[in-house]
Amino acid sequence: MASSDVRLVTKSGGERWWENAVLYQIYIRSYQDSNGDGVGDLEGIRQRLDHLKGASGALDVDAIWITPFYPSPMADFGYDVSDYCAVHPLFGDLDAFDRLLADCHARGLQLIVDFVPNHCSIEHPWFVESRSSRDNPKRDWFIWRDPAPDGGPPNNWKAMFGGDSWEFDPATGQYYYHHFLASQPDLNWRNPDVRAAMYDAMHFWLDRGVDGLRVDAVQTLTENEALTDNPPAEGPTVKAKAGSEFASQQHINDIDWPDNIEIVRQFRDVTDDYPGALLLGEVYLLEHERMVRYYASGRGFDLCFNFLLVNMPWNADAFRNAIEPLHDLLGDEFRIANVLSSHDESRIATRFGPERARAAAILLFGLRGMTTVYQGDELGLPDGVIPNDRLQDPFALAGHGLSRDPARTPMQWDLGQPYAGFSTAEPWLPLATDHPGMDVAGQRDDPASMLAFYRDLIAFKRVSEPLREGSQRFIDDLPEGVLGILREAGNQRAVIFVHMGESRCEIAGWPGRIAIASDRNREGETVTGILSLEPNDAVVMALS
Ligand code: NOJ
């Protein structure tokens, strides 16, 4: 059956299937290697679909998002694309992609691909042409500027991955602009031919039948054409963990430039032809008022990630402040994609500690909107410890001291097999841990496991009207350190309590039945008067 036929069938969830969906993020290099080269691939994902959907013991997620698998010299592990409409041989080919898509759809699983519009690779033929001469027709596809009078870069902008945002090209005597690595030149989105070519790339994947696009680094699409210098930093306007030079500036001229919104509207125009296709924005802005503009009042992204969540300490007030104002800004009509971890961030069990991993998962699933699960969190995997001689992340290799490798270690399928069943060859990054039980095989049939816990959370979210559709209100006057959220749908109510404080506490006035608890022995418990919680306990209760 052609994938487009399957797609029609799988839209039974309605055009807004994503609103309350559980999206599972697959970092392709580290999911499953099917051809023994130590790197994950598309066929590997297909072979592991039973873990995700349509088999006994599956997590039963709604959708997967696969990180870039396009041709690329891999300077940023695929986020440096050299052909938007093909598959890197490392990951397979278009046939392998079509097989994967068809198998996903046959299971009722949606598939989202990564779209990287801000920049491509220095090896993309567009850039090769562009840099070949000043009068090449593709010169204006990138952002070229003359040197400053002293011969230095055109202005003071700093690249997120370190150093200046400008790279001098001796052959033509000009600088080109790059927000990330020098090998990731920014495309010039003011050029209509660039837009047309990139919209063609969107059509290419949507025509193949994908169910949506996760759009990379949207906040950096355009810049102030006047190239005004950035002033020194005052507040947290951008990713707090960026390199120090980058963090030393207020990025008012190179990030979140107003012209970005018009481009996002055009993304929407493209996806309008594909009912139900999700436009999911990676808009990395920590100020919510700025981020919500990318919903463009219903003509922009369907969902954006709430990245404040990945920057929060284990503190109830901090989390409330990271969620409530945004929720108020979005109102009833719009949803958010909730996220606690990714291939760019520390895994949950390391960032908060293993003793808090279940409570963190309850919070994640308790929030209104889409729930994103990063591969490995369902096992409680910690970050890996990567020896210096095996560092891979260009960000770390550039000397910033921060590495994203620890969260990118291979998925652990079966510790009884070489390389935990991820590959038959030495994987590109070492395993995170060989601790017994830190694998799918060890957890799948154990009702006390983290995997069973995630499976139950996903099942509960699927059937709970309050968790799916309910309004969301934070509860005041709770004991110190307790985060409480009331979810209401019609006459059904659920409450989520997460105890982030330091001593045992008692909560009065919320009678009901515990549906899911970090302490699984408490599930089914009826609460009539007082609910007591130990530090790091969390519960979801159906209220009487
Ligand atoms: C965000 C991606 O998640 C990250 O991995 C990548 O390095 C940057 N965008 C640049 O594409």
pLDDT at residue 489 in the model: 97
Measure 470 CA to ligand 1 centroid, in angstroms: 33
Residues of the chain with CATH 3.20.20.80: 22-119+192-460
Measure 396 CA to ligand 1 centroid, in angstroms: 14
Q: How far, in whole angstroms, is CA 7 from its chain's centroid?
A: 23
CA distances, 187 to each of 124, 176, 353, 486 (Å): 11, 10, 40, 45
Distance CA 424, CA 413 (A): 12
398: confidence class by pLDDT, cuts 50, 70, 90: confident
144-170: per-residue pLDDT in tens?
Answer: 999 999 999 999 999 998 899 999 999
Pocket residues: Cβ below 6 A from ligand 1: 76, 79, 116, 180, 216-217, 282, 343-344
**What rounded mean pLDDT belongs to the chain?**
95
DSSP tag of 114: E
Q: Which atom of ligand 1 is nearest to the CA of 395?
A: 7
Q: Which fold has domain 125-177?
A: Oligo-1,6-glucosidase; domain 2 (3.90.400)
pLDDT for residue 118 is more than 90: yes
pLDDT for residue 208 is more than 80: yes
Measure 426 CA to ligand 1 centroid, in angstroms: 25
Residue with tokens 């490995």: 376
Provide the token pair at 417: 């097999």
pLDDT for residue 57 is more than 90: yes
Measure 343 CA to ligand 1 centroid, in angstroms: 9
Q: What is the mean pLDDT of residues 180-195?
A: 98
Q: Which atom of ligand 1 is nearest to the CA of 118?
A: 11
313: exposed, middle or buried (Cβ count in 10 Å: 0-12, 13-18, 19+): exposed
Residue nearest to atom 2 of ligand 1 (CA): 216
pLDDT at residue 15 in the model: 86
Which pTM was predicted? 0.96
**Residue 167 parent element (H or E):** strand 166-169
pLDDT for residue 13 is more than 80: no
Residue nearest to atom 4 of ligand 1 (CA): 344
Q: Which atom of ligand 1 is nearest to the CA of 80?
A: 11
pLDDT at residue 394 in the model: 85
Residues of the chain with CATH 3.90.400.10: 125-177
Written as one letter, the residue type at 312 is M
pLDDT at residue 304 in the model: 98
Q: What is the mean pLDDT of residues 14-22?
A: 91
12: confidence class by pLDDT, cuts 50, 70, 90: very low
Could you give the 3-state DSSP secondary structure of residue 449? coil
pLDDT at residue 8 in the model: 30
Q: What is the mean pLDDT of residues 456-480?
A: 97
pLDDT at residue 241 in the model: 55
243: confidence class by pLDDT, cuts 50, 70, 90: low
Query: What percent of the chain is predicted at pLDDT more than 90?
Result: 92
Q: Which atom of ligand 1 is nearest to the CA of 217?
A: 9
Written as one letter, the residue type at 387 is P
Ligand 1 pocket test, pick from 77, 180, 343, 403 with the greatest ligand atom count within 8 Å of Cβ, gives 180
Nearby residues of 527 by Cβ (< 8 Å), 6 or more positions away: 510, 511, 512, 513, 514, 541
Residue nearest to atom 3 of ligand 1 (CA): 344
Ligand 1 pocket test, pick from 29, 216, 405 with the greatest ligand atom count within 8 Å of Cβ, gives 216
For domain 471-543, the question of CATH label 2.60.40.1180 is answered with: yes
Q: What angle do CA 121, 125, 126 make, to 5 degrees?
A: 80
65-100: per-residue pLDDT in tens?
Answer: 999 999 999 999 999 999 999 999 999 999 999 999
Provide the token pair at 463: 């059937």
pLDDT at residue 321 in the model: 98
Return the half-sphere exposure (C-beta side, CA atoms, 13 A cut-off) of residue 414: 10
Measure 536 CA to ligand 1 centroid, in angstroms: 32
pLDDT at residue 254 in the model: 98
Inter-residue contact 345 to 351 (CB < 8 Å)? yes
Provide the token pair at 199: 């919209």
**Total count of residues recorded for the chain:** 544
Question: Between residues 278 and 15, which one has the greater pLDDT?
Answer: 278
Of 322, 329, 324, the closest CA to residue 294 belongs to: 329
Tell me which of 43-47, 215-219, 331-335 is least confident: 331-335
Strand 505-508, strand 530-533: pairing: antiparallel
Residue nearest to atom 10 of ligand 1 (CA): 79
401: confidence class by pLDDT, cuts 50, 70, 90: low
pLDDT for residue 11 is more than 70: no
Ligand 1 pocket test, pick from 79, 112, 178, 284 with the greatest ligand atom count within 8 Å of Cβ, gives 79
CA distances, 326 to each of 313, 318, 413 (Å): 18, 13, 37
Nearby residues of 283 by Cβ (< 8 Å), 6 or more positions away: 218, 219, 291, 294, 301, 304, 305
Residues of the chain with CATH 2.60.40.1180: 471-543
pLDDT at residue 132 in the model: 98
Q: What angle do CA 178, 223, 158 make, to 5 degrees?
A: 45
Q: Which atom of ligand 1 is nearest to the CA of 161?
A: 7
pLDDT for residue 194 is more than 50: yes
Q: What residues are labeled active site?
A: 216, 282
pLDDT for residue 419 is more than 50: yes
pLDDT at residue 14 in the model: 63
495-512: per-residue pLDDT in tens?
Answer: 999 999 999 999 999 999
Inter-residue contact 126 to 138 (CB < 8 Å)? yes
Inter-residue contact 220 to 186 (CB < 8 Å)? yes
339-396: per-residue pLDDT in tens?
Answer: 999 999 999 999 999 999 999 999 999 999 999 999 999 999 999 999 999 999 988 8
Burial 487-521, CB ≥16 within 10 A → b, else e: bbeeeebbbbbbbbbeeebebeebebebbbbbbee
Ligand 1 pocket test, pick from 116, 238, 307, 344 with the greatest ligand atom count within 8 Å of Cβ, gives 344
Inter-residue contact 160 to 255 (CB < 8 Å)? no
Q: What is the CA radius of gyration of the chain?
A: 23
Looking at 3.30.70.80, 2.40.50.140, 3.20.20.80, 3.40.50.150, the CATH number of the domain 22-119+192-460 comes to 3.20.20.80
Measure 529 CA to ligand 1 centroid, in angstroms: 49
Inter-residue contact 157 to 164 (CB < 8 Å)? yes
Measure 523 CA to ligand 1 centroid, in angstroms: 39
**Residue 372 parent element (H or E):** strand 370-374
Q: Which atom of ligand 1 is nearest to the CA of 282?
A: 1
235: confidence class by pLDDT, cuts 50, 70, 90: low
Query: What percent of the chain is predicted at pLDDT more than 70?
Result: 95
pLDDT at residue 151 in the model: 97
Distance CA 204, CA 323 (A): 36
Inter-residue contact 339 to 305 (CB < 8 Å)? yes
Residue nearest to atom 5 of ligand 1 (CA): 344
190: confidence class by pLDDT, cuts 50, 70, 90: very high
Measure 181 CA to ligand 1 centroid, in angstroms: 10
